[in-house]
Amino acid sequence: MTLVLGFNDYLAPAQQLAHRLSIPFKQVDSHQFPDGETKVTLPSDLPKQVIICQTLNQPDHKLIELILVAQTAREQGVEQITLVAPYLCYMRQDIAFHTGEAVSQKIVGKLLSDYFDAVLTIDPHLHRIKHLSEAIPTGQALALFATPAMTDFIKKNVENPVIIGPDEESMQWVKAIAKTDQWHYSIANKQRFGDKDVAVTLDDINLTNRNIIIVDDIASTGRTLEQTVKQLLPQEPKSISIMVTHAFFVDDAIKRLHALGVTNIWSSDSVLHSTNTFSVIDILAQAVESLSTT
Ligand code: R5P
């Protein structure tokens, strides 16, 4: 028997995962003391196999929570612990850009591999490595794509869109989406000078009166999207929509994008946000099923 364990701050998707896998769900009780420390209490009678479903935005507190849960589960006799983390933190710092910087991807990856037998996630930001197992050296480390869910959503909601990627990295997602119905696409060129300082240049393509969808994995400050929208506006498209897997949209990012005239902002439930419109839980559930049959 397998059980899904979830937390109060990512409850509905974890329950949905259990439902989709037709296995029971139980919640971990997590209490934060006034000084910021965490106490977790696991349900009793855990089976031999447990799937922990927690997304890792705002990760520092959640990582401690996860380790406490995983270690306690082991001590209670759980043999196989799988982590389903729709958003996987600390993947962007994959080298030391300056002397003395910690390579967070490797350190956090190793930490997770110490506690989990398998780790599954969606669109982790793997820039200089090809496979998630290079960051998380555990038995099975799977990086899945949100693009099937994105494509389904677009097909149902937008007629003949043009898909725009804001930078070279987005090409993989943009191409995967565009090929479904031979939609037009274009990839912009991005230069980042600082957290909130980004320049984007677009190829010369005619977008007048077209429905444009900008696709990216993460929206953090929203500056990448904002600069892309600014480049698109002079072409007078019919609409500009934004679609991302992981929606952070920190500070006033959403307000700024709407102020520019963005029609729709769509995101997946990998991170809970008011823009969530499509789900990646089915994709994760299918991958969990394939793990158990291999
Ligand atoms: C970076 O290459 C990612 O794919 C995103 O484009 C980036 O994380 C977005 O960051 P921001 O919203 O802060 O521009």
For 144-179, write each residue's pLDDT tens digit. 999 999 999 999 999 999 999 999 999 999 999 999
DSSP-assigned letter for residue 43? P
**Could you tell me if 198 and 207 are in contact, meaning their C-beta atoms sit under 8 angstroms apart?**
no
pLDDT for the residue 205 = 87
Compute the radius of gyration of the chain from its Cα atoms: 20
Compute the distance between CA of residue 36 and CA of residue 145 in angstroms, rounded to an integer: 35
Domain ranges of the chain: 2-145+280-292, 147-269
Confirm or reject: Cβ of 217 under 6 Å from ligand 1: yes
pLDDT for the residue 104 = 97
**CA of residue 266 to ligand 1 center, whole Å:** 16
pLDDT for the residue 219 = 97
- 88 strand-pairing partners: none
- From first to last of its 294 residues, the chain has per-residue pLDDT tens of 899 999 999 999 999 999 999 999 999 999 999 999 999 999 999 999 999 999 999 999 999 999 999 999 999 999 999 999 999 999 999 999 999 999 999 999 999 999 999 999 999 988 889 899 999 999 899 999 999 999 999 999 999 999 999 999 999 999 999 998 999 999 999 999 998 999 999 988 899 999 999 999 999 999 999 999 999 999 999 999 999 999 999 999 999 999 999 999 999 999 999 999 999 999 999 999 998 655
**Could you tell me if 265 and 238 are in contact, meaning their C-beta atoms sit under 8 angstroms apart?**
no
pLDDT for the residue 294 = 55
Residue count of the chain: 294
Residue written as tokens 């929570």?
65
Which residues fall within 8 angstroms of residue 155, CB to CB, at 6 or more apart?
180, 181
Confirm or reject: Cβ of 200 under 6 Å from ligand 1: no
Give the CA distances from residue 165 to residues 64, 152, 161, 202, in Å, rounded to whole numbers and listed in that order.
35, 18, 13, 10
Residue written as tokens 């669109």?
123
pLDDT for the residue 149 = 98
pLDDT for the residue 139 = 85
Domains 2-145+280-292 and 147-269 share a fold: yes
**CA of residue 93 to ligand 1 center, whole Å:** 13
Q: Whose CA is closest to 69, among 13, 121, 122, 8?
A: 8
Give the pLDDT confidence of 41-89 residue by residue, as tens digits.
999 999 999 999 999 999 999 999 999 999 999 999 999 999 999 999 9
**CA of residue 288 to ligand 1 center, whole Å:** 28
Class of domain 147-269: alpha beta
- Tell me the torsion sign for CA atoms 229, 233, 234, 235: positive
Confirm or reject: Cβ of 224 under 6 Å from ligand 1: yes
Confirm or reject: Cβ of 216 under 6 Å from ligand 1: yes
Confirm or reject: Cβ of 169 under 6 Å from ligand 1: yes
CATH 3.40.640.10 is the classification of domain 2-145+280-292:
no
Nearest CA to ligand 1 atom 1: 218
Helix (H, G, I), strand (E, B) or coil at 194: strand
**CA of residue 124 to ligand 1 center, whole Å:** 12
Helix (H, G, I), strand (E, B) or coil at 169: helix
pLDDT for the residue 127 = 83
